[in-house]
Structure 1
Amino acid sequence: MSKLQFGTGLRSVADTAQFARRAEALGYDVLGCGEHVMFHGPIGNTFVQLAVAAGATERIRLMSTIALLPLYPATLAAKMGSVLDVASGGRYLCGIGVGGEFPKEFEACGVPVAERGARATEAMQVMRKLWTEREVSFHGRFNTLNQITLDPPPVQQPPPIWVAGRKEAAMRRAALFGDGWIPYMYTPELLAESMTSIGRLRAENPVAATEFNYGVFIFSAVHRDGDVARKMAAERLG
């Protein structure tokens, strides 16, 4: 039986190291960090903050929850993930998503928002090849590689790629090209139904990863006063 693990997520950029040490001391299994280039308020960068967390901890797994993969050149994302995995001693979990809820950041980065799904799917293939092979060649719609070797390679071969998202396209992306799936704001009933669909897709696809894990990202607020906790949660969700 698979082990049930619990994680928590970074919020403030300024106290990244302190929060990471505290999360590890409290026994959490995973420390997550999301990102946007720009959003409705202050928000950090998953690769930078997880690198800080790596230097402040020894055991806890470090997960991008999530990296906005379409905004990165695939080779650059692979490089940052590889270095983070090496620097952390093989603790990196690569959570990716396509975003799109804030189109201005796509415009600012020169990436058409309509291409985000296709870019992410292709990038996942490029990253896995760069993490597990040497002298990689790849000729796709968005990426062209000619005998490229990523050095240093990651400790994990490869770091597991978790796909976020609630739509059918995200579930298919996870089933065919990922190692895990982590939706958010999901009911238990919908989660069970989606897990069945993903399992069916994986069974029909011979190139799917041999090991696959499921998670769920839950927004929560903890306070001694229940009314205050509910208000905090509502404000967090906007």
Structure 2
Amino acid sequence: MKIGISRPYADPGHPIPDVDMGAICQIAEEVGFDWVTYGHHTIRPLEEAVKPPHFGVPLYLDPLIGAARGLALTKTLEVSTGVLIMPMQHPVVVAKQVATIDRYSGAERFFLGLGTGGASRLEIELTGGSFERRWAYTMESIAIMKGLWTEDRFTFKGEFFDFPPTLLGPRPATQPHTPIWLGGFSDAVLQRIGEHCNGWLPVYAGAKLAFGAGHAGTDSAYDDLKAGRRKLHRFAEEAGREVSHFDINVILTPESATDVVRGFEDAGADRLAFTLPEVTSVEEARAELEKLAGRVL
């Protein structure tokens, strides 16, 4: 199992002391981590009540630009978005950006983690998306990106987009395309992964469930992960899709204990990311990364 880190979960505040992702990735690779994942939010509506775990939409750096910087400054580190909020994006633009990042970094170093946000309706709507149709838009976007990455003559007609014969290039170095992971817990999310994607990004509070989310009959993160993995393969089989392995990539909340590595490995996780505490400088980040590496690597 690969061990990594997730960006500070806390809101970096305003003005934004969000630490350079390139520096974070360089230090992470130096001290022995395998993976860095980085979240996504854009603008903060100032008078809208938002859903937990956020209490005010965080002011993060752009995760695709950050991933490109982090990958350019490292040699072996894997980087993912965790997660890019797709209802605020155009699939052609993301397809081009991801293909470029993938080609520059080399095959199988970048992974596209997607989600639909949901903490803030306004954040999605003010960037042109539909809050009510956010999952429909996301899945249509995934179909478009996969087609653009793999087909010489791509056509598409859906609810949101109508493509005449189209070609996108250059394509990702990873074949057949950059892996797509989805964040979430519901059976609907797992079904979407089983039918269309390559991996799952759940969030847990150490060995416990987080945010009250979990599959029926599970009371621990380990059991929940096992249940989710079984469902992924069942949904894929029911859809007639042959997938021998789905990447399962766990992000842990900040309060999580560090003695959970073996439990998640036994439960079938491929990657485990510990969330950095709040840091405001590269020096603080290095100290925390070195301390964390000493406990979990």
Alpha-carbon distance change, 76 to 210 in structure 1, aligned in 2, over 3 angstroms:
farther
Aligned partner of residue 217 in structure 1, secondary structure:
strand
**Which of 50, 61, 65 is the aligned partner of 1:48?**
65
Aligned partner of residue 121 in structure 1, secondary structure:
helix
Q: Which has the higher helix share?
A: 1
Measure, in 2, the Cα distance between the counterparts of 1:7 and 1:163: 18
**Which of 154, 159, 165 is the aligned partner of 2:184?**
165
Measure, in 1, the Cα distance between the counterparts of 2:24 and 2:255: 16
Measure, in 2, the Cα distance between the counterparts of 1:189 and 1:38: 36
1:199 correspondence with 2:263: no
Amino acid at match of 2:26: R
Q: Is the 8 A contact 2:42 2:59 kept in 1?
A: no
Aligned partner of residue 87 in structure 1, secondary structure:
helix
Counterpart of 1:87 in structure 2 is 104
Q: How does 1:104-143 map to 2 (within 5 A)?
A: 104-143=122-161
- 1:117-151 Cα deviation digits (max 9, x unpaired): 10111111111111111221111111222222111
Q: Is the 8 A contact 1:176 1:208 kept in 2?
A: no
Normalised to the residue count of structure 2, the TM-score between the two structures is 0.70
- 1:151-184 Cα deviation digits (max 9, x unpaired): 1111012111111111222111111111011111
Q: Percent identity?
A: 24
Amino acid at match of 1:5: K
Counterpart of 2:252 in structure 1 is 218
Aligned partner of residue 51 in structure 1, secondary structure:
helix
Measure, in 2, the Cα distance between the counterparts of 1:5 and 1:48: 23
Measure, in 2, the Cα distance between the counterparts of 1:212 and 1:13: 32
Aligned-pair CA distance for 1:216: 1.5
Q: Is the 8 A contact 2:233 2:243 kept in 1?
A: no
Measure, in 1, the Cα distance between the counterparts of 2:18 and 2:174: 27
**Which sits farther off after the overlay, 207-216 or 130-139?**
207-216
Counterpart of 1:188 in structure 2 is 222
Report the RMSD for the aligned CA atoms in angstroms.
2.0
Alpha-carbon distance change, 147 to 209 in structure 1, aligned in 2, over 3 angstroms:
farther
- 1:91-118 Cα deviation digits (max 9, x unpaired): 2111111111111211211212011010
Counterpart of 1:24 in structure 2 is 29
Aligned-pair CA distance for 1:42: 2.2
Alpha-carbon distance change, 208 to 141 in structure 1, aligned in 2, over 3 angstroms:
farther
Aligned-pair CA distance for 1:196: 1.6
Aligned partner of residue 80 in structure 2, secondary structure:
strand
Aligned-pair CA distance for 1:208: 5.4
Counterpart of 1:8 in structure 2 is 5
Alpha-carbon distance change, 116 to 222 in structure 1, aligned in 2, over 3 angstroms:
closer
- 1:35-72 Cα deviation digits (max 9, x unpaired): 01124232121111111112211111111111111211
Alignment gaps of 5+ in structure 1 = 224-231, 234-238
Counterpart of 1:146 in structure 2 is 164
**Which of 147, 161, 175 is the aligned partner of 2:194?**
175
Counterpart of 1:70 in structure 2 is 87
Measure, in 2, the Cα distance between the counterparts of 1:222 and 1:137: 46
- Report the count of equivalent residues: 222
- 1:15-51 Cα deviation digits (max 9, x unpaired): 2221110011122111111101124232121111111
- 1:200-221 Cα deviation digits (max 9, x unpaired): 1112122354542212211135
Q: Is the 8 A contact 1:13 1:49 kept in 2?
A: no
Amino acid at match of 1:207: R
